[in-house]
């Protein structure tokens, strides 16, 4: 019974990882549209943007409903179980070791990390 349950959980986690990639695409697509693009006389772009924004919002709602949560690590401490360091940034107005930037959102499924957040950690500058 335990082997069957473990296989089921592994399948669900794999499915969630795939869906998270779709969420990434939607987020990148909508954040690349500027306010000026929406103000201009282009009703088709505005309707497309609004539709994609609704899909993105609904997808995040479904994620939350089923226990899939996006991590929000900026300002927190680095945790190797949740984060992968991809760069170091000068510690300006933040404590060294604090996460300063996120280049790829991480996700947890019912508290278990299914994708590490790619983060930039603040370090003291050597002058």
Q: Is the pLDDT of residue 103 over 70?
A: yes
Q: Is the pTM of this model over 0.75?
A: yes
From the centroid of its chain, how far is CA 90? 23
DSSP 83-120: EEEEEEEE-SSS-TTBEEEEEE--EEETTEEEEPEEEE
pLDDT of residue 9: 76
Residue 1 binned pLDDT confidence (cut-offs 50, 70, 90): low
What the block records as the tokens of 19 is 């869906």
């Amino acid at each position: 019974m335990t082997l069957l349950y473990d296989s089921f959980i592994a399948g669900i986690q794999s499915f969630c990882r795939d869906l998270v990639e779709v969420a990434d695409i939607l987020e990148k697509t909508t954040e690349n549209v500027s306010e000026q693009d929406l103000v201009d006389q282009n009703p088709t772009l505005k309707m497309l943007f609004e539709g994609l924004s609704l899909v993105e919002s609904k997808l995040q709602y479904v994620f939350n409903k089923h226990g899939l949560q996006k991590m929000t690590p900026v300002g927190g401490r680095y945790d190797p179980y949740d984060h992968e360091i991809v760069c170091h940034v000068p510690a300006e107005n933040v404590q060294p070791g604090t996460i300063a930037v996120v280049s790829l959102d991480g996700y947890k499924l019912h508290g278990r990390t299914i994708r590490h957040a790619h983060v930039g950690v603040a370090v003291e500058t050597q002058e």
